[in-house]
Amino acid sequence: MNMMKKTLKRTLLATATALAATAALADVNIGVSLSLTGPGSGLGIPMQNQFKLFPQTIGGEKVNLIILDDATDPGKGTTNARRFVTEDKVDMIIGSCITTVAAAMTPVATEAKTVQLAASPVGVPPGQDQWLFRLPQSNNVMAYAMIELMKKQGIKTVGFLGYTDAYGEQWLQAFTPEAAKAGIKVVATERFARTDTSVTAQALKLNAAKPDAMLIVASGSGAAMPHKAIVERGYTGKIYQTHAAATKDLMRVGGKDVEGAFVVSGPAVVGNLLADNHPSKKVAMDFVSKYDKAYGAGSHNQFAGHSYDAQIVLEKIIPMALKKAKPGTAEFRAALRDAMETMGRTVFSHGIMNWTKDDHWGYTNETGVMLKVVNGDFVLAN
């Protein structure tokens, strides 16, 4: 009997040890939905490129990135999100790089109580972002930097040309009241769909209003078309673009017509131009040097920077969460969210992040950097 008890005890001990070893070696699975095709591919492909440089392990655990194409389509993004939480049992979701797609994914992530780290400035109704965090800066933060430059330039009137979807509307809502406080009035508002190939009618109406400046709200290569339309209809005032347009695609597609454009961005894409005491300079330079070494000089952009910052986040929160739970569990997913809300001041290539329980945007008004297109490249705007 004693021999049987000893044998059973050894068997149970061996089983427990094996299970513990298996749990300790459990992979951390991250579902990533990016626009690798469609109008948003100019944003998604650079993000995917940066993720190819991602470390294989963090905090001693293997990290698997499951990258799917959402084709710049909200329906496809929703499908990807459902696969992530039902089939892949991911610990976190990253994406999408397009606001409308990210917004469509949010209810799925929230229902599954899984952190969604959006790579676009997606807005949701108050109280519905318990599981949603953003890598990009809020439109309010970026509008602040834009308006500050407009004030210096003496701009009093602005024409608005933006997407009909959430990204365009949220920018209009963020910009209009803050501009009004600065004595700047939106005197004409026109909209267009992401799939539109022409905005001639809108450009003519805006030009007729003769505003001091134009604000175009579009993304990636799609930001060049409305810009060109305004210039080709004879507009000679200042033209502003949002941080979704802070890519080389703007210059590649827009050519000489986008010369002189003012574009708001995070500091990541202009690390070499930042003052040595800028908190993000070292991190931004590290991002630029590694990305350009892998993909060619000058190939880095803002969205690849978001992928770089996602790595910074995971390298900080995964070890914190591992102290509370094991990957693949609801407890671990909750621990990741708690870690993000308590990780404190963290230097990103795009600025200083400090998420809290009450603020899942995190950036401050000092974050936005105003750029100007000069000779087909970005320089700091004075």
| pLDDT, tens digit, 9 for 90 and up, residues 157-169 | 999 999 998 889 9
Q: Do the domain assignments include residue 375?
A: no
- Whether 348 is covered by a domain: the verdict is yes
Sheet (strand 185-192) strand order: 185-192, 157-163, 213-217, 238-241, 262-265, 369-374, 377-380
- Residues 131, 152, single domain; the answer is no
Residue 277 counted as domain residue: no
What was the pLDDT predicted at 25? 54
Is the same domain home to 227 and 127?
no
Domain count for the chain: 2
Residue 23 sits in the same domain as residue 36: yes
User: What's the start-to-end Cα distance of the chain, in Å?
Assistant: 86
pLDDT at 6 over 70: no
The answer to whether the beta carbons of residues 36 and 69 sit under 8 Å apart is yes
Confidence at residue 26, expressed as pLDDT on a 0 to 100 scale? 80
| Structure confidence by residue, pLDDT tens digits, 340-359 | 999 999 999 999 999 999 99
Tell me: do 89 and 144 sit in the same domain: no
Within-domain flag for 376: no
Nearest to 216 by CA among 233, 200, 238, 232: 238
Residue 276: inside a domain, yes or no? no
The pLDDT tens digits for 296-354 are: 998 898 899 999 999 999 999 999 999 999 999 999 999 999 999 999 999 999 999 99
128 Cβ partners below 8 Å, 6+ apart?
106, 110
Residues 83 and 174 placed together within one structural domain of the fold: no
In a domain, 23, yes or no: yes
Q: Count the neighbouring beta carbons within 10 Å of the beta carbon of residue 344.
A: 10
Q: What is the pTM of this model?
A: 0.79
pLDDT above 70 (res 1): no
Sheet holding 115-118, edge to edge: 57-58, 61-69, 28-34, 92-95, 115-118, 132-134
**Quick check: is 381 in a domain?**
no
Instruction: Examine the domain organization and report whether 311 and 213 are in the same domain.
Output: no
Task: Tell me the CATH number at 49.
Answer: 3.40.50.2300
Cβ density class 68-82: b for 16+ within 10 Å, e for less: bbbbbbbebbbbbbe
> Is there a domain that residue 374 lies in?
no
- pLDDT at residue 15 greater than cutoff 70: no
Q: What is the mean pLDDT of the chain?
A: 91
For residue 231, the enclosing domain spans 139-265
pLDDT higher than 80, residue 2: no
